[in-house]
């Protein structure tokens, strides 16, 4: 029963869209078709094959509108499902591609990164929202794989910085002096979801994380 109602609604919507776009739908064409048959000159009848061909073409156009309507409904349902999935992330700890860090003004921020090889020297640089490097920390040698640095929210002079969104970069060198490309991550607990755009954005304090960038999630 539900499927029948949905199908009827979709067809009606498609017919309305078709009428708005083309000025008529199949029902209008059938009325015109019947009127032409009623008032045609018996000595010079309309070519039925040409009229049937026009009706066939109009039917194809209507089917196209029906398909577009069904596809739009499917996309809407999919977007709603994605939105519900994003909301379910609230309260969870996530790890995502990125290099953002949210500092709340007191709690140290955990900056995570991955090294392809062991590094003999590693340096973490933290940049504020204005693009200024506020802290450069030398963290020494690090092993290959997952690594982290706990930033206390202070600048190079030891002054506590204000709460806000920051970014960080990692510079590492192997034992032979060659540079290593570190992969950085945005981590933290999701405290909200922004659904105003085309793609849901998860929020970690003052930092936004695209749903598609999430790598893992935990409690």
First to last CA, the chain: 41
* pLDDT at position 67 over 60: yes
In angstroms, the CA 185 to CA 167 distance is: 10
Q: Which residue has the higher pLDDT, 166 or 21?
A: 166
Other beta carbons within 10 Å of 28: 15
Rounded average pLDDT over 50-72: 66
Residue 18: is it exposed, middle or buried by C-beta count within 10 angstroms (0-12/13-18/19+)? buried
Model's pTM, two decimal places?
Answer: 0.63
Name every residue whose Cβ is closer than 8 Å to that of residue 103 and which is 6 or more positions away in sequence: 109, 151, 153, 161, 163, 164, 165, 166, 205
Q: What is the structure's pLDDT at 169?
A: 97
Q: What is the structure's pLDDT at 115?
A: 97
Question: pLDDT tens digit string along 128-164?
Answer: 999 999 999 999 999 999 999 999 999 999 999 999 9
Q: What is the structure's pLDDT at 139?
A: 94
Q: Where are the domains of the chain?
A: 2-87, 93-218
Question: What DSSP state is assigned to residue 211?
Answer: G
We find that the CATH architecture of domain 93-218 is Sandwich (2.60)
């Amino acid at each position: 029963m539900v499927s029948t109602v949905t199908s009827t609604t979709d067809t009606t919507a498609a017919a309305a869209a078709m009428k708005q776009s083309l000025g008529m739908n199949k029902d209008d064409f059938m009325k015109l078709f019947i009127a032409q048959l009623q008032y045609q000159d018996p000595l010079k009848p309309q070519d039925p094959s040409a009229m049937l061909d026009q009706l066939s073409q109009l039917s194809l156009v209507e089917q196209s509108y029906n398909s577009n309507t069904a596809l739009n409904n499917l996309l809407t349902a999919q977007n709603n499902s994605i939105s519900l999935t994003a909301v379910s992330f609230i309260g969870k700890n996530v790890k995502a591609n990125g290099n953002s860090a949210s500092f709340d003004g007191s709690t140290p921020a955990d900056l995570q990164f991955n090294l392809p090889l062991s590094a003999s020297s590693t340096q973490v640089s933290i940049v504020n929202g204005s693009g200024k490097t506020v802290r450069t920390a030398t963290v020494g040698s690090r092993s290959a794989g997952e690594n982290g640095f706990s930033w206390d929210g202070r600048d190079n002079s030891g002054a506590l910085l204000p709460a806000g969104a920051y970014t960080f970069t990692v510079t590492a060198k192997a034992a032979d002096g060659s540079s290593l490309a570190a992969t950085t991550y945005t981590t933290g607990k999701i405290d909200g979801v922004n659904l105003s755009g085309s793609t849901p954005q998860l929020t970690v304090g003052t930092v936004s994380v695209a749903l598609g960038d999430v790598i893992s999630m935990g409690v």
